[in-house]
Amino acid sequence: MAIISVSNLSYEYSNSDRKAVDDVSFDIEQGDWVAIVGHNGSGKSTLAKLLIGLMAADEGTITIDGLELTEETVWDIREKVGMVFQNPDNQFVGATVADDVAFGMENRQMDRATMRERVTSALTQVDMLDYVDREPAKLSGGQKQRVALAGIIAIVPKILILDEATSMLDPKGRREILATIKALKTKYDLTVLSITHDIDEAASADHILMIDDGHFVEEADPEKIFSHGAQLIQMGLDVPFAEKVKRALATRGVDTPQTYMDEGSLADWLWKSRLKK
């Protein structure tokens, strides 16, 4: 049974003349890592906000872990979902790292002893325990996002939504945060929904869900999506580095395979192809 089930979802902003999300349906299985990709303004973030009831959909239904999203169930659904947003500064609520991690727990009326214990354990898991009393102004963007993650682990959600959580980070911070998320996903059997236009982040997902101007285009595994090459670029998306290398080789007359390859398999293919000659 799917943990997230969306059917015929539509939403239109009041100041807009077209639907930001237009008749979108999809299912996400428990334990999957699904990346939602699309160019800027394709409705990805709107979709994320609809999923946890920050905005009410005009049409369609959203069912999360067996609960249909309505005004009554919205807080129960938020119990199950943790969300990391794009701007590290604008989601840091607490005055210090520990306060920020505790924020979600305070909202759930946990007692102080449990909070202390969980703050320590959550910060250990994201490797930020040394910064427990630090103020946000003294942290880097990547560190702030890790604190945001710790705040979410502390409430033990079933689903983690990343709304372009790595887009304001440097490459190092981005790699670190993705590695942390992967470790957490395995540990807690999380379902991860990452909204991104970082194509390398998308490449590490189990499935990719493509949307374009609010329309659902396709859901498939990364191999299939990235083999579309030219179509991706037309939609304003990028292709992974290995795919770019392949295309560059193809324009120089090298006969490259049609199937999608990641960097490892491309390297394998390259040195084997030299051997054949």
* Site residues for another protein per CB under 8 A: 49, 52, 54, 75, 78-79, 81-83, 85, 87, 89-96, 98-99, 102-112, 115-116, 119, 135-137, 151-152, 155
Min CB(90)–another protein separation in Å: 4
The residue among 1 and 137 lying less far from another protein, judged by its C-beta, is 137
Of 48 and 225, the one with the shorter C-beta distance to another protein is 48
Shortest separation between residue 181's beta carbon and another protein, angstroms: 17
- Nearest approach, Cβ of residue 216 and another protein (Å): 24
Q: Closest approach of Cβ 138 to another protein, in Å? A: 8
Closer of 37 and 102 to another protein (Cβ): 102
Q: 3-state DSSP helix/strand/coil percent for the chain, to nearest 5? A: 45, 20, 35
Nearer to another protein, 104 or 142 (CB): 104
Long-range contacts of 61-67 (CB under 8 A, 24+ apart): 61/6, 61/7, 61/8, 61/9, 62/4, 62/5, 62/6, 62/9, 63/2, 63/4, 63/5, 63/6, 64/3, 64/4, 64/5, 64/159, 65/3, 65/4, 65/158, 65/159, 66/1
Cβ proximity of 3 and 33 under 8 Å: no
